[in-house]
Amino acid sequence: MRDEPFHERRRLLEELFTPTGGAGRVHVTPATRDRDVAADWFRRFEGAGLDGVVAKASDLAYVAGKRVMVKVKHERTAEFVVGGFRWYKAASAEGAEEVGSLLLGLYDDAGDLAHVGVIGAFPAEQRRQLVEVLAPYRVTGDQAQQEGHPWAAWAATPEASSIRLPGARSRWNATKDLSFQALRPTLVVEAAYEHLQGHRLRHTAQFRRWRPDRDPRSCTYEQLDVAVPVELASVFGAGVLSGEAGGPAPGVG
């Protein structure tokens, strides 16, 4: 069936996996060709912990190993305090220093700067430029302590156990070096993010622009949109949802 169009493969699946089709507890992913329904799912699925929706052309054949579908994910922007950075570990061809990632913070209700995530994946040229951009804000361990940097103790003790601390040991790789260089918490950056998971960003944020006009103290959790939680059962409880062939068919991401 790989060469058959998506709408035909979908039709056969719906025939096989119906409540009376004898397929037990197997369910077909909800799908629709109604834009308003897809928009509603896009909004509600986030509260159920899902990334978004996937759009497929109805005449699309099954294509293995290629990105022929479109994943529509939530993206928002917010301003964050840059409290530190990590060096880029891979040596450049010229041997020059490069910045690997920026450590982001937000002020919580107690007025503490909480580490919430990082910006990474910079192009090589920007990694080199960031060295000069960040130079005026860099502070040594002693300076950080003297100036009351909120992450000074964490920078000095990278073996910290709490995963909320920027110098903490990685959950996935115990040998990974997560030490960082502290920066005076006066630099503000606008970054794109998907959503919060607990008190941290779910995925790596994306750099958008510097915000010299923003007061670092205004970078709080309150500026972030928070998805309203919903039960997965309420999202999928309606069973199979589909329409007639002849257009993109958004499904669960």
CATH classification of the domain holding 157: 2.40.50.140
Same domain, 206 and 238: no
- Greater confidence, 93 or 114? 114
Whether 217 is covered by a domain: the verdict is yes
Burial status of residue 180 (CB atoms within 10 A of its CB: 0-12, 13-18, 19 or more): buried
Whether 1 is covered by a domain: the verdict is no
Domain that holds residue 26: 6-74+229-252
Q: Is the pLDDT of residue 75 over 90?
A: no
For the question of whether the overall pTM of this predicted structure is more than 0.95, the answer is no
Same domain, 80 and 68: no
Radius of gyration of the chain (CA): 23
Q: What is the pLDDT of residue 22?
A: 52
Same domain, 203 and 125: yes
Share of the chain above pLDDT 90, in %: 41
Q: What is the pLDDT of residue 179?
A: 81
Whether 128 is covered by a domain: the verdict is yes
Q: Where are the alpha helices (DSSP H) in the chain?
A: 6-16, 35-47, 124-134, 141-146, 152-156, 232-236
- Greater confidence, 247 or 234? 234
Q: Is the pLDDT of residue 113 over 90?
A: yes
Same domain, 98 and 161: yes
Same domain, 107 and 29: no
Number of domains in the chain: 2
> What are the respective helix, strand and coil percentages of the chain, to the nearest 5?
25, 25, 55
Same domain, 66 and 162: no
- Greater confidence, 72 or 245? 72
Q: Is the pLDDT of residue 132 over 60?
A: yes
Q: What is the pLDDT of residue 128?
A: 93
Q: Is the pLDDT of residue 93 over 90?
A: no
Residue 222 is classified by DSSP as G
Per residue in 153-170, pLDDT (tens digit) is: 775 554 443 434 564 444
Q: What is the pLDDT of residue 48?
A: 72
Same domain, 211 and 237: no
Q: Are 79 and 188 in contact (CB under 8 A)?
A: yes
Going through the chain in order, the beta strands assigned E by DSSP cover 52-55, 70-73, 76-87, 99-107, 113-119, 181-182, 188-193, 196-197, 200-201, 206-210, 251-252
Q: Determine which of 17-31, 137-151, 214-228, 232-246 has the lowest per-residue pLDDT on average.
A: 232-246
Same domain, 70 and 80: no
Q: What is the pLDDT of residue 235?
A: 60
Same domain, 83 and 197: yes
Q: Is the pLDDT of residue 91 over 50?
A: yes
Structure tokens at 175: 């040998």
Q: Determine which of 57-61, 124-128, 218-222, 245-249 has the lowest per-residue pLDDT on average.
A: 245-249
Whether 244 is covered by a domain: the verdict is yes
Of 143, 77, 83, 153, residue with least CA distance to 114: 83
